[in-house]
Amino acid sequence: MTTTLIPPDLTTAITPDHPAEQAAAREQRRSGDQPARFAGVVRSEWVKLRSVRSSKTTLFSAAGVLLFVGLAAAAFTGGLLAQPADAGDGPGAGDPTSIVMSGLMLAPLIIAVLGVMAITAEYATGTIRTTMMMVPARLPVLWAKVVVLSAVAVPVMVVTSMVTFVAGQALLDAGGTATTSLGDPGVLRAVLGSGLYLAGIAVIGLAFGALLRGTATAISALFAVLFLVPGLGALLLPSSIQDSVLPYLPSNAASSFTSVTPGPELLSTTTGAVVFAAWVVIPVLAAAVALKRRPI
Amino acid sequence: MIELHGLTKRYGEKTVVDDLTFTIQPGVVTGFLGPNGAGKSTTMRMLVGLEEPDGGSSAVNGRTYGEHAAPAHEIGVLLDAGARHPGRSARDHLLALAATHRISAKRVDEVIELVGLAEVARSRSGGFSLGMGQRLGIASALLGDPETVMLDEPVNGLDPEGIRWIRELLRGLAAEGRTVFVSSHLMSEMALTAEHLIVVGRGRLIADISVADLVAQSITSVRVRSPRTAELRAVLAGDDVTVTTGTDGALDVTGLSLEQIGDRAAAAALTVHELTLQRASLEEAYMELTAHAVEYHGTLTTAGSSPIPTTSATPTPERTAA
């Protein structure tokens, strides 16, 4: 494709002799161009994600936290590092999978930021308008963001979970503590589930970001849903209500498939997975409706 | 071509765009003028589907914006020069936009070259000046080689060289047969760039006029200087004629044509040393057009009184004896 736009220093020399012919020439030149298609929108979102340093920082911070918190927990438990004096029974103490996956307490909040920023950065900088002018149907942009975010977060988080598990078990073994292997019942599911849980949190972050539009508000809302409500709920709610509310919160629903043997207070593995999937899908659908209806 | 038919937008009780109907023709630069808050940006946002109108319709090259499969080839738009991620390079910014239309990286490099950002295109755009941001915004508008170009206040923040560059670019685009629609709140800038003007105030259409016609309309008075001022006054006096005396003793006459004044002076055998048409500047003509429609004005007016007076030296009129 050639351009008819002339370099700035030559614009004065443009000859307006045949504007109609020029318009026809442009028409012909463009006829080979493809209209906006979904693959192009996905590619566009990929360029956006890879071209900003903070995306990589956030993604690898989440992976790093999962890995190093897990390794540290394994090292403490295995006695390779001195136990802090006041160390009580940590999360899932005694369960070799839970010990090395301790990073699941913190990593969700970091990976959520990746998802939130994938859209709130567009609102903060104003690029959302340019984006939506390029794709006036709007929804393909949201779907493309989900695709790109998942395509990045699922492999990175699943691989990190695997590496963390294997390395963590090696550390436990070196410390002479009980270990487990991926072949044992429920272990592979719990490790894969951990990776998928984190990727799912990224997508929930995207949906919250699309609904709330502000980075701080979206992250606060996610923090509330993931940590604050489960924590406060366990403290403040009457136990009769606790049982009908707390297991359905996303972090607790996920625990039912990220733990090898879910505790009695949790949903069954399958129910937990379905409930968590609903926590991903429903906000995304709500975001789609909002995106279509609200002015940009 | 851009067409608006009764386009209307309300925010609550307030009507920000009120029944706008006009057509922007290809081949000329059309200025979109109005005071701040006149509804220019809202109109542009509705044109590109960012906002739903409450009434009326608009079309770009014959179709609603949302109906175009590849809108970037139809209309190139700059709404906000600051709309870029500071951590992303100008080239990546354009590549992301280009990908949605499968526009090649080669074209991206072409528009970067065209707007003069080649040297900084690969570094983070956070350090860009407002002028560089405008250039990047213009690059993204031109990416699809569109038939229609619509720019919101593109001159803001540009240095004199940049302003001259964009003027020539816009005229060049129009000369190629494209539709060029450019908003500004500065008449002085539009006077140099545009051939046609759409003037709005408080959301309403005030004028849809060529610059040449506006200039023709803006003749306000005839200045006549004579050593026999008092006699000349008497000769010119009439019911619809106002004669004022300027600081240098010359008379400013409204209500009579240049020819009539010359004829009357000659008939009375009065020497005339100067006889000139006084034109209000386009700026003044624009102020007059929009005076009633200024949303927020300063202290030049008192509550409920007449609008901002034109700023030219307007001596106190004194009616001549009839």
- List pLDDT tens digits, range B80-136: 989 999 999 999 999 999 999 999 999 999 999 999 999 999 999 999 998 999 999
Q: Given a cut of 50, is residue B221 above it in pLDDT?
A: yes
Amino acid at residue number B140? S
Contact B171, B202 (CB under 8 A): no
Chain A residues in contact with B62 (beta carbon < 8 A): none
* CA dihedral sign of residues B71, B77, B83, B87: positive
Structure-token match 């009065």, residue found: B270
Among partner residues B51, B83, B87, which is closest to A126 by beta-carbon distance? B83
Chain B residues in contact with A127 (beta carbon < 8 A): 83-85, 93
Residues B80, A129: C-beta atoms closer than 8 Å:
yes
* CA dihedral sign of residues A4, A10, A12, A14: negative
Residues B106, A1: C-beta atoms closer than 8 Å:
yes
Domain regions of chain B by residue span: 2-215, 219-293
Residue in chain A closest to B81 (alpha carbons) equals: A126
Mean pLDDT computed over A176-181: 89
Check CB contact of B85 with chain A, cutoff 8 Å. Answer: yes
Among partner residues B48, B106, B142, which is closest to A133 by beta-carbon distance? B48
| CATH no., domain B2-215 | 3.40.50.300
* Nearest by Cα to B22 from B14, B12, B30, B10: B30
User: What tens digit of pLDDT does each residue of A219-244 get?
Assistant: 999 999 999 999 898 888 888 888 88
Range 114-173 of B in CB contact (< 8 A) with A: 114-116, 140, 142, 144-145, 147, 165, 168-169, 171-173
Residue in chain B closest to A54 (alpha carbons) equals: B87
Chain B residues in contact with A33 (beta carbon < 8 A): 70, 73, 101-103, 144
Chain B residues in contact with A117 (beta carbon < 8 A): none
Q: Given a cut of 60, is residue A7 above it in pLDDT?
A: no
Residues B79, A22: C-beta atoms closer than 8 Å:
no
Q: Given a cut of 50, is residue B313 above it in pLDDT?
A: no
Contact A209, A218 (CB under 8 A): yes
| % of chain B exceeding 90 in pLDDT | 61
Residues A35, B80: C-beta atoms closer than 8 Å:
no
- Least confidently predicted of A139-153, A194-208, A214-228, B183-197: B183-197
Check CB contact of B105 with chain A, cutoff 8 Å. Answer: no
Q: Is the ipTM, as predicted for this complex, more than 0.90? A: no
Of 3.30.70, 3.40.50, 1.10.3470, 3.30.450, the CATH number of B219-293 is 3.30.70
Q: Euclidean distance between the first and final Cα of chain B, in Å?
A: 53
| Strand (E) or helix (H) holding B9 | strand B2-11
Q: Which DSSP state fits B316? A: P
Query: Tokens representing B314?
Result: 């307007």
Residues B165, A8: C-beta atoms closer than 8 Å:
yes
As a whole number, the mean pLDDT across chain B is 87
Please, which pLDDT band fits residue B177 given cuts at 50, 70 and 90?
very high
Per DSSP, the three-state class of A125 is helix
User: What tens digit of pLDDT does each residue of B51-73 get?
Assistant: 999 999 999 999 999 999 899 99
Residues A30, B103: C-beta atoms closer than 8 Å:
no
The pLDDT score that the predictor gives to residue A91 is 42
Chain B residues in contact with A44 (beta carbon < 8 A): 96-100
Residues A40, B142: C-beta atoms closer than 8 Å:
no
B257 or B65, higher pLDDT: B65
* Nearest by Cα to B314 from B226, B240, B246: B246
Please, which pLDDT band fits residue A35 given cuts at 50, 70 and 90?
low
Q: Given a cut of 70, is residue B181 above it in pLDDT?
A: yes
Residues B107, A35: C-beta atoms closer than 8 Å:
no
Residues B85, A33: C-beta atoms closer than 8 Å:
no
The pLDDT score that the predictor gives to residue B254 is 85
As a whole number, the mean pLDDT across chain A is 87
Among partner residues A36, A48, A126, which is closest to B96 by beta-carbon distance? A48
Please, which pLDDT band fits residue A14 given cuts at 50, 70 and 90?
very low
Residues B100, A8: C-beta atoms closer than 8 Å:
no
Among partner residues A1, A12, A36, which is closest to B70 by beta-carbon distance? A36
Q: How far apart are CA B280 and CA B217, in angstroms?
A: 9
Check CB contact of B73 with chain A, cutoff 8 Å. Answer: yes
Q: Given a cut of 60, is residue A103 above it in pLDDT?
A: yes
Per DSSP, the three-state class of B276 is strand
The pLDDT score that the predictor gives to residue B79 is 94
Number of A to B CB contacts under 8 A, please give it: 168
Q: How far apart are CA B252 and CA B233, in angstroms?
A: 10
Among partner residues A7, A36, A53, which is closest to B101 by beta-carbon distance? A36
| Strand (E) or helix (H) holding B261 | helix B258-267
Residue in chain A closest to B71 (alpha carbons) equals: A134
Mean pLDDT computed over B211-232: 84
Contact A41, A137 (CB under 8 A): no
Residues B175, A23: C-beta atoms closer than 8 Å:
no
Q: Given a cut of 90, is residue A159 above it in pLDDT?
A: yes
